[in-house]
Copies of this chain bind each other. A is one copy, B any other.
Amino acid sequence: MIKQRLFTPGPTDVPPEVLVEMARPMFHHRTPRFREMFAEVSAGMKKIFMTDNDVLTIAGSGTAGMEAAIAEAVPRDRKVLVADGGKFGERWVKIAKRYALDTDEVKLEWGTALSAETVKEKLATGDYGAVVTVYSETSTATACDMEAIARVVRETDAILIVDAITACGALPLKTDEWGVDIVASGSQKAFMLPPGLAFLSVSERAWKVIDAQKPRGFYLDLRAYRKSIAKDDTPYTGPVSLIRGLKVAVDMINGVGIETLWERVSLLAGAMREAAVEMGMKVFSRQPSDSVTGLLYPAGVDDRFRKVLQDKYGASVAGGQEKLKGKLCRISHLGYVDPLDTIGLIAAMEYALSDCGASVEIGKATATATKILRDWR
């Protein structure tokens, strides 16, 4: 009878309105009803992505979206710069190499992000046809200065491909204004849905590269998605229930307004960071992302903290990966999470840290977060 609460950086909590919508009876995807719904969803997605270009929806996880972008939108006769500051950057390097692209991997210390200066320096050679980077690296809870990087890339002819999987809908991202060519995201993050959908916005510049090259695959050939979306349709079986849920979620997001949501996420993250310090934890990242916070345990505390937090208090947070395994927990500020949840979570973190033997003044961090979150709107 312990109430379960999800604070993992994807899947995130799904609103009851969305769950109920997805539980409604199935209907066929090759129908006017589906196309009408899909047209509305697509229009709403453009607002969230802040783009006039189509936002393509692929039935698959975020990785499928990034694979499609890397496989199709990187000019194959030039180098591709891939930033690797964590598990996801690492994955994009793997994909670039799998497609035999001339990959220049920029290895970043975990907890740091690609800088605009590095990109500028590299691109000055003129060798690069594309830059692939992660806006918010979920494994290290680190965000780069996406706007600055985009500014640098826009001075060249290189295509900018951004893994915005835990960024889009949570961190400031003005796709067209900043000139980001490809923005990839996934349903189980700020979109408040179960996993199963990848989203990609593609600029005119990126389409030129894609059109100039032969497709590498079939399912992930973005041209098929572009052709279909022009008719408000999907090239292969449309994921009916997820799109139904997405319709509700997109309306909820646009009802609040994407820029207000960015501020909310930022406030939650700020409160969590302040509270964490008072609980004796350290923010791992040197450039912390607001969509997910990575916290190092105090001395003497290990990953049992997460088990206690889950088993005794019903709060689920993510752990560290690879070298951070057992040393860190990661807490989401994405999607359907609010100050009341976050305040409750911080109280539970105080309890769990204390259960693990850490010296915590119960209530102090909770009070601090309550004060900071007063500014919620």
A345 proximity list for chain B (CB < 8 A): 340
Q: Which residue of B lies closest to A335 (CB)?
A: B1
Q: Are B341 and A3 in contact (CB under 8 A)?
A: yes
- Does residue A60 face the partner (Cβ distance < 8 Å to B)? no
- Does residue A336 face the partner (Cβ distance < 8 Å to B)? yes
Copies in the complex: 2
A315 proximity list for chain B (CB < 8 A): 340
| Given A23-B23, A373-B347, A3:B366 Cβ within 8 A | no
Interface string of A343-356 (1 = CB under 8 A from B): 11101101100100
Q: Are B374 and A255 in contact (CB under 8 A)?
A: no
**Which of B3, B339, B368 makes the CB contact (< 8 A) with A340?**
B3
A26 proximity list for chain B (CB < 8 A): none
- Does residue A327 face the partner (Cβ distance < 8 Å to B)? no
A15 proximity list for chain B (CB < 8 A): 1, 3
Q: Are A370 and B363 in contact (CB under 8 A)?
A: yes
- Does residue A338 face the partner (Cβ distance < 8 Å to B)? yes
Cα–Cα distance between A362 and B348 once the two chains are bound (Å): 19
A363 proximity list for chain B (CB < 8 A): 366-371
- Kindly provide the distance from the CB of A360 to the nearest chain B CB, expressed in whole angstroms: 10
Grouping DSSP codes into helix (H, G, I), strand (E, B) and loop, the A interface class, with mixed when no group exceeds half, is helix
Q: Are B338 and A3 in contact (CB under 8 A)?
A: yes
Q: Are A347 and B338 in contact (CB under 8 A)?
A: no
- Size class of the A contact interface (CB-based, 8 Å): 35 or more
- Does residue A230 face the partner (Cβ distance < 8 Å to B)? no
Cα–Cα distance between A343 and B363 once the two chains are bound (Å): 10
- Does residue A94 face the partner (Cβ distance < 8 Å to B)? no
Cα–Cα distance between A256 and B314 once the two chains are bound (Å): 14
Interface residues of A in 313-361 (CB under 8 A from B): 313-315, 336, 338-341, 343-345, 347-348, 350-351, 354
A2 proximity list for chain B (CB < 8 A): 338
- Kindly provide the distance from the CB of A19 to the nearest chain B CB, expressed in whole angstroms: 8
- Does residue A5 face the partner (Cβ distance < 8 Å to B)? yes
Residues of chain A touching chain B, judged by Cβ–Cβ distance below 8 Å, are 1-3, 5, 15, 23, 252-253, 255-256, 313-315, 336, 338-341, 343-345, 347-348, 350-351, 354, 362-364, 366-371, 373-374
What are the nearest 8 A-B pairs in CB distance? A340-B344, A363-B367, A367-B367, A363-B370, A344-B344, A347-B370, A366-B370, A363-B371
